[in-house]
Amino acid sequence: MIVKRVVLDNIRSYVHEQIDFPAGSILLSGNIGSGKSTILMAIEFALFGLKRGELTGAGLLRNGADKGSVEVCLDLEGNEVTIGRALKRASSGIVQDAGFIESKGERKPLTAVEIKQKVLEYLNYPKEALTKNEMLFRYTVYVSQEEMKQILLGDKEQRLNALRYVFGIDKYKRVKENAKIVASKAGEKKKEFLGFISDLDAKKASEKSKSIELETIGKELEIILPKADELKIAADKRKADILELEQQISKANELKKELAVCEQKARLYEIQKANEDKELKRIDEKIRLSSSEQVSGRDFAKELWEKRSLIKEIEAKISAASGKIYELNAGKRACEELKRKIRMLDKCPTCMQEVKTEHKQSITSEEDRKLAEIEKEFLLHSNEEDSLRQAVNKINLEIEKIWDEEKKEVMLKARLRELEDSVKQKDAVIERRKKAEDELKNALEKKEQITAGLAFFADAEKKHIEARKLYDSAALLHREAELKKAQLETRKEMSLRALNEISAEIKKKEDAKKILEKISLLKQWLEYYFMPMMDDMEKSVMAKAHTDFSSLLSKWFSMLVDNEAINVRLDPEFTPMIEQNGYEIDYGFLSGGEKTAAALAYRLALNQVVNNLMSEIRTKDIIILDEPTDGFSEEQLEKMKFVLDELSIGQIIIVSHEQKIESFVDNVIRFEKAGHVSKISM
């Protein structure tokens, strides 16, 4: 794994910044608080996400920002992978938002957990303990110098367990613990199977007993089966006799029902004949009363048409007289109007000459003459109109009389039609009466036939009672035989079922006995061979790791501390033991530079041992050193050059404010902080 690029948005003191990382050794240089360590925190966040109590959202998101993000581009054995994680401010605090992973030009949005799982796949970290993989990263790639000092001075047992994990040795312990569980379960199963097969001999004895019982039942069935068949045949014969007699009784009952129906029909036909006689008398009387009336034969429609035509002619004359009267009234009004105008006229409107009185009187006299003629004619036409209207009223009275006579004629015709219907009804009644007489005759004849047929079945019921007694006796014997047969078959079925169950149980117990033998062998193999072998393998790997670790620790320490009187080695719990002039001294008696050297040596030795033991992980090509020279003297700083030269790692990222280290590395990236904002200084 090689870090190629880190992009920060609203992370701690950074607003937006992109840092490009080359291969080789790189120094992140700058004053204390310039933002160097933030880069390392961002890399760890991109890989593994937030960690409660250590790497929190509140500690990463820039103050005042609602959201932030980190993108880290990695080179994983030639495959470029970009990991992006985001933070957002929520009501519950600062939480992780959805992120992404981009590989081979394809970007996939993922949740925080999905990103971590994918990162572990890319780094080829073990997945047995998902929450502990940051520990492997920190022990092999990145841990601050102060943290390493705390590890060295911390609880021995915790440190040893942590080293077991990063060495990959804890798997032997897990395997052994799992083997113990399996062995314990095998022991429990052994006890369970021993209890299960404890009654195997008793079950075999029971199986033999049930076999004998089945044989006895089979012999009894051989005797009862033929007897039950014979009794069934006898019972069936008696039942056939009963069925025949029941058929005769059924036929007799049907004849009785038919006889009742015939008697009922005869009574109904007698009642019907009497009713028809009464109806004939009523119809004859009705015909007698209606036969004296005659129809006139007048054409009332023609008479009405002639009267209405005459009314139309008179109404036309009335209309003409009314028109003439209207015209005469108009002439009277015109004469009166002209007389009025002449009386009022002084000058002629045409010539404007004075109109003389004589002329006015002449015109007035002429108009009076016209009015007298109009009045004479008006009186003549008015009298004519009145006469015509009286004629119309007379004709209307005649029309009403014709209507009354027509209604009487219609009612008479209706009565005559009723008479015709009565004649037809009489014929129908006569026909029904004859039919009723015929049906009555037929019913009486059928009654005689049925009565004669009933005599044939007179003793059928008596015979049926005797046959029923014989059948009941035979059926009782058959039922007893069938009951005994059923009891034997039930006993046989139950015994057979019990035998099968016992046989199946015996088979299960025999199979369990075989499994018990295998479980016993497995338990013995686990306890006496496998678990001791795991102990030996764990001790062997741990011893190899301890030897290599101790040798490397001594090597790196001697390179950093030029004092032959002081030596460092590891005790069995991987605690650094300081020896000075052949005497053990406490870690606390070392100088600040010597403590830092011991921690750095431990750090470098641990890195090499883990990478050797876990050769499949993809973080072997990178190491991050955070303030590795804190408290170093000038001479010790000089020795860092040899340390860096000795490290055979593709990328070494060093965070330090020591300017002297700039001369030891391949690349320098400088940081500065101004106005609470960190950035790369050019």
Averaged in consecutive runs of 10 residues, what is the pLDDT profile of the chain (682 residues)? 95 94 92 89 91 85 94 93 95 91 93 90 73 65 66 68 69 78 83 78 80 79 72 72 71 74 77 77 69 64 83 85 84 81 71 70 80 84 85 86 80 66 71 75 75 65 68 70 74 80 82 82 83 79 82 86 80 80 76 82 84 80 86 84 86 88 91 91 73
CB atoms within 10 A of CB 231: 19
Coil, strand, or helix at residue 179? Answer: helix
- pLDDT at residue 324, rounded to an integer: 83
- pLDDT at residue 3, rounded to an integer: 95
Coil, strand, or helix at residue 519? Answer: helix
- pLDDT at residue 534, rounded to an integer: 78
- pLDDT at residue 545, rounded to an integer: 80
CB atoms within 10 A of CB 366: 13
β-pair type (622-626, 651-656): parallel
What single string gives the DSSP state of each residue in 230-242? Answer: HHHHHHHHHHHHH
Q: What are 668's strand-pairing partners?
A: 27
β-pair type (576-580, 93-103): unpaired
- Compute the Cα dihedral for 50, 56, 61, 62 and give only its sign: negative
For residue 634, give the H/E element and its range: helix 634-646
Backbone torsion region of residue 590, taken as left when φ is above 0, otherwise alpha when ψ lies between -120 and 50, otherwise beta: beta
Whole-Å CA distances, 216 to 213, 229, 362, 539:
5, 21, 167, 70
Which amino acid does the sequence have at 530? F
- Residue 615 CA from chain centroid, whole number: 50
- pLDDT at residue 296, rounded to an integer: 61
CB atoms within 10 A of CB 427: 11
Tokens of 28: 């992140």
Tokens of 546: 């301890």
Dist. CA 272–CA 440, nearest whole Å: 10
Angle made by CA atoms 560, 27, 25, in degrees to the nearest 5: 75
54-89 per-residue burial string, b: 16 or more CB within 10 A, e: under 16 = ebebeebbbeeeeebbbbbbbbbeeeebbbbbbbbb
- pLDDT at residue 436, rounded to an integer: 72
Tokens of 662: 């700039």
Report CA Rg, the chain: 68
Q: By CB neighbour count within 10 A (0-12 exposed, 13-18 middle, 19+ buried), where does 572 fall? A: exposed
Dist. CA 344–CA 355, nearest whole Å: 10
| Per-residue DSSP letter, 581 | T
Dist. CA 554–CA 365, nearest whole Å: 170
Tokens of 53: 């109590």
- Nearest residue to 610 via CA among 311, 166, 72, 238: 166
- Nearest residue to 561 via CA among 603, 529, 515, 598: 598
- Nearest residue to 102 via CA among 11, 7, 18, 15: 7
- pLDDT at residue 129, rounded to an integer: 46
Tokens of 357: 């009185």
Whole-Å CA distances, 101 to 83, 124, 446, 523:
5, 16, 107, 47
Dist. CA 545–CA 166, nearest whole Å: 11
462-499 per-residue burial string, b: 16 or more CB within 10 A, e: under 16 = ebbeebbebbeebbebbeebbebbeebeebbeebeebb
- Nearest residue to 632 via CA among 647, 623, 643: 643
Q: What is the 3-state secondary structure (H, E, C) of 142-170?
A: EEEHHHHHHHHHCCHHHHHHHHHHHHCCH
544-553 per-residue burial string, b: 16 or more CB within 10 A, e: under 16 = ebbeebbebb
Dist. CA 369–CA 542, nearest whole Å: 164
| Strand residue runs (E) in 446-575 | 566-570
Q: By CB neighbour count within 10 A (0-12 exposed, 13-18 middle, 19+ buried), where does 106 fall? A: exposed
Dist. CA 361–CA 641, nearest whole Å: 162
Q: What is the 3-state secondary structure (H, E, C) of 529-545?
A: HHHHHHHHHHHHHHHHH
